[in-house]
Amino acid sequence: MSYLEAVILGIVEGLTEFLPVSSTGHLTITEKILGMPLDDPGVTAYTAVIQVGAIAAVLIYFFSDIVTLATAWFKGLVKPEYRGTFDHRMGWFVIIGSIPIGIVGLLAKDLITGPLRSLWWVGGALIAWSAVMWWAERQATQERGERELTLRDAIIVGLAQCIALVPGVSRSGATISVGLLRGLDRVTATRLSFFLSIPALTAAGLYELKDVVGSGIGIGPTVVGTLVSFVVAYISVAWLLRFVAHHSIAWFVPYRVVLGGALLVLLSAGVITAT
């Protein structure tokens, strides 16, 4: 992999990781355009590893919130008076809500890195989940804020992350949509999506690091791609939080449908291959 390709993939990752358009889907499309073999374990691993840059952006952007939650959670382990506080409960919400994707990610690893890397899946999922996003906004009551989050919310939204293992669905698109269907307001659903992304994407990136090191991609391009994704993702996080405060995530639906439709047409016409 050249450094130019690493920069391009880093930009795509950082720009799309937290927008409801599917970062994995966009990375898969970009890798295809760049002529990379989509079924190469090293390329698949690289996609996961540079996500760590995006997660670093979330850690820094929400640093004070994360410190508050972590402090309250640890104190609550030894001091009963902290156990009923929102921050202590939120710490548990993030931990428990992250368990489903950890289990499913490990059990379905061969499926995720194999057949699901097909552009047929990407195109179909882009269109299919767009319908869910549109419906979620139509049904949303947005009657509950962050202080009214429950463990059931965290588990159900955590389960939604598992659906996003299908390239094209979008982790943020899945979690925010399900959060809206649970009655959460858009900002609360988005913040919960960000917090749940930290354990999931960090674990995935560290797990796949060994495959990147053992491939021909190289440490240099990996570091560059991760740094670029960090910078772009930080900007994306700040923008998305401002956007969802006043706009529906259904604004992203036309783009998803057009991209997915174009992809399926090109595949059907034989202009491009699926892997």
Tell me the pLDDT tens digit for each residue of 164-174: 999 999 999 99
Tell me the pLDDT tens digit for each residue of 44-63: 888 888 888 988 999 999 99
Which pLDDT score is estimated for 41? Answer: 76
Which pLDDT score is estimated for 184? Answer: 96
Whether 14 and 232 have beta carbons less than 8 Å apart is answered as yes
What is the secondary structure of 196-230 as a DSSP string? HHHHHHHHHHHHHHHHHHTSSS-HHHHHHHHHHHH
**CB burial readout 59-88, b (16+ within 10 A) else e:** eebbeeebeebeebbebbeeeeebeeeebb
Measured CA to CA, the distance from residue 275 to residue 270 in angstroms comes to 12
Mean pLDDT on 187-207: 87
Considering only CA atoms, which of 95, 88, 188, 76 is closest in space to residue 142?
188
The mean pLDDT of the chain is 90
CA atoms within 13 A on the CB side of 220: 6
Considering only CA atoms, which of 44, 55, 60, 17 is closest in space to residue 209?
44
Q: Which residues contact 131 (CB under 8 A, 6 or more apart)?
A: none
Tell me the pLDDT tens digit for each residue of 61-85: 999 999 999 999 999 998 888 888 9
Judge whether residue 43 has pLDDT over 90: no
DSSP3 helix / strand / coil % (the chain, rounded to 5): 80, 0, 20
Judge whether residue 20 has pLDDT over 70: yes
Question: Phi and psi at residue 184, in whole multiples of 5°?
Answer: -80, 150
Percent of residues, the chain, with pLDDT higher than 70 = 97
Spell out the domain ranges in the chain.
3-268
Question: Phi and psi at residue 144, in whole multiples of 5°?
Answer: -125, 140
Tell me the pLDDT tens digit for each residue of 107-165: 888 888 778 888 999 999 999 999 999 999 999 999 999 999 999 999 999 999 999 99
Whether 272 and 32 have beta carbons less than 8 Å apart is answered as yes
Other CB atoms within 10 Å distance of the CB of residue 254: 11
